[in-house]
Amino acid sequence: MSDAPVAEVAASEPKHTAPSRARRTALWLRSTHPVVVTVLAFVASIIVGGILIFITDTPTRKAAKYFFSSPGDTFSRGWHAVSQAYVALFEGSIFDPHTAFHGSFWHALSPLSETLLNATPLILAGLAVGLAFRAGLFNIGAQGQLIIGAVFAGYVGFAWHLPVVLHVIVALVAGIIGGALWAGIAGWLKARTGAHEVITTIMLNYVAVALLGYLLTENGFKRSGSNQAISRIVDGNARLPKLFPAPLRVHAGLIIALLAAAGVAWLLNRSRLGFQLRAVGANQFAARTAGMDVGRNYIVSLVLSGALAGLAGCSQILGTNSSITGDIDAGIGFTAITVALLGRAQPWPTVLAGLLFGAFQAGGVTMQSRTTTPIDLVNVLQSIIVLFIAAPALIRALFRLRGAADTSGQQLAKGWNG
């Protein structure tokens, strides 16, 4: 993208001194610009996913048994399965001609609304993971922080009864505190004992899941009269308002997520604290020499990260759902890691990554219900995209791109000793 102004300048100059605009565009397309790499990683993941569908589709495998007498059958069946899955993925996330014209104008926007709905907690949790990344910490405990945040926010939501605007704010604050506390444990352990956060945060995930399982059996938390492990219902006052009329489910959590992205961008790039966090993330020894309290920075960055994950929990319990179940996390905590990696741990790219993976999730639900392809395919696509993104050299080799050695992966390099 940095080449674009140069290209315009070149275009205004006499033609014979610069390559044509088309050639410049072609060169840009063959560079390792992040946008190009992302698009190519997307393409690569779609291809791998297609192969996976092809192999596991039952009619295709049946046709493959008589492959040598009629190879066309295998390919047509396989193509059918692959195209159906991807069409459903698109229809569930962007535009669905089956339902668009059967109802009000809003119905046509329903897939996009689902995409935004799914993107909301992904953006928040992705920001959480990304913020910790920038401070040199790998927070893979977004799942646990999200759960504890949802438990805190949900409890305030159904156990307390407060006036209209106040209630949702108090519930949000509770959720933030819950997530921050849970991540703060890992931060404190890291600062005080040097326990690596990759291990402590993931162990705290399992503890949080067990804790939630326990709460869902306890009176006062559990919905009375229900045989299922489900919590009481959050008060209407504590719910995040819907942004659009009836069939569209996207709620004010999206606005919170965008505000959070702006906040994180300001924090990291404009504030003194953010500078410290980045300094510690870049080189803890240099930061210590410069007089920064590295341990304190670890705690602060994980607390902030947990607060964002707690907000993702709020979005789940105060917005998308109205009561807590054992599945309140819905895989968001781990998808958030891929979101943050795809967004290269920067706030606004993380928002875009969240939107992309939100679309995947929304489309995946439709795909699972309309075709025989399970939604787990989405997880495969996401991790393949990130795997390719993480290795720009691989994308270069695969697609024969040019470009100098890329060290963007290096900024996050940390061993056990660091």
Partner 1 sequence: MSAVQAQESDLVESHEVVEVAASQRSRIVSGAVLVVVGLLCVFGFGLGSHAGYDATFHLSPPGASITVPALVAPARIVSIALGALVVAFGVWRIARGFSRRTMRWVVGVSIAAVVFSFLCWSLTGTKGTSLDLLGLLQQTIFLAVPLILGALAGVLCERSGVINVAIEGQMLGGAFAGALLGTIAHNAGVGIIAAMVAGGLIGVLLAVFAIKYVVNQVVLGVVINLLVLGLTGYVYDALMARDQNTYNTPPGLHAINIPGLADIPILGPLLFQQNAIVYAMYVLIIVIDVALFRSRWGLRTRAVGEHPKAADTVAINVRRTRFINVVVGGLVAGLGGASLTIGSALPFGKSMTNGKGFIALAAVIFGRWSPRGAVGAALLFGFADALQNVLSFIGTPVAIPSQFLSMLPYLATILAVAGLVGRVRAPAADGEPYVGR
In the complex, the residues that contact partner 1 under the rule CB under 8 A are: 52, 56-58, 138, 140, 189, 192-196, 198-200, 202-207, 210-211, 213-214, 217, 334, 337-338, 341, 372-374, 376-380, 382-384, 386-387, 390-391, 393-394, 409-410, 412-418
Q: With respect to partner 1, which residue has the nearer C-beta, 181 or 412?
A: 412
- According to DSSP H, which parts of 57-141 are helical? 58-64, 71-93, 97-100, 105-108, 110-134
For residue 373, the minimal CB distance to partner 1 (Å) is: 7
Tokens describing residue 141? 């405990």
Rounded Cα distance, 38 and 195, in Å: 34
Structure tokens at 21: 């605009």
* 56 residue type, one letter: T
Q: Which two tokens stand for residue 5?
A: 């102004």
How far apart are CB 12 and partner 1 at their closest, in Å? 40
Give the shortest CB-376-to-partner 1 separation in angstroms: 4
Shortest distance in whole angstroms from residue 122 CB to partner 1: 14
- Shortest separation between residue 409's beta carbon and partner 1, angstroms: 5
**Could you give the C-alpha distances from 131 to 59, 183, 261, 329, in angstroms and in order?**
46, 13, 10, 20
Nearer to partner 1 by Cβ, of 159 and 199: the residue is: 199
Q: Which is nearer to partner 1, 246 or 393 (CB)?
A: 393
Q: Which is nearer to partner 1, 263 or 331 (CB)?
A: 331
Of the candidates 52, 63, 2, the residue with the CA atom closest to the CA atom of residue 27: 2
For 49-75, b where at least 16 C-beta lie within 10 A, e where not — what string?
Answer: bbebbbeebeebeebbeeeeeeeebbe
Nearest approach, Cβ of residue 412 and partner 1 (Å): 5
Using the minimum distance from each CB to partner 1, give the nearer residue, 81 or 308: 81
Smaller CB separation from partner 1, 303 or 345: 345
Residues in the chain: 418
- The number of helix segments (H) and strand segments (E) in the chain equals 19, 0
